[in-house]
């Protein structure tokens, strides 16, 4: 029996969102090792999210 273990976190994604507030995320997998022969799955979340700031496009004056 082998219990599951988490991989390292991936790098944070680019900030996704509209002008001002956005969100970025990172993921990990339950494959280090993967559960085997009745072992327990990984506990906890495979995704983390955090707020980020996205730049607003500059307005052009005509």
Q: Examine residue 22 and state whether it is found in any structural domain, yes or no.
A: yes
| Domain range enclosing 29 | 13-54
Match 């002008």 to its residue by tokens.
Answer: 19
- Report the CATH number at residue 29: 2.20.100.10
Report CA-CA distances (Å) from 29 to 45, 48, 49, 54.
10, 12, 15, 28
Q: How confident is the model at residue 59 (pLDDT cuts 50, 70, 90)?
A: confident
What is the pTM for the complete model shown? Answer: 0.78
Rounded CA separation 36/5 (Å): 11
Rounded Cα gap, residues 8 and 6, in angstroms: 7
| Residue 25 within a domain | yes
Residue 32, domain member (yes or no): yes
Structural domains of the chain, count: 1
pLDDT digit string, tens, across residues 22-50: 999 999 999 999 999 999 999 999 999 99
Does 3 fall in a domain? no
């Amino acid at each position: 029996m082998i219990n599951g273990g988490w991989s390292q976190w991936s790098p944070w994604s680019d900030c996704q969102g509209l002008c001002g507030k956005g969100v970025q995320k990172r993921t990990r997998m339950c494959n280090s090792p993967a559960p085997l022969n009745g072992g327990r799955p990984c506990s906890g979340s495979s995704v983390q999210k955090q707020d980020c700031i996205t730049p607003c496009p500059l307005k052009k004056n005509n």
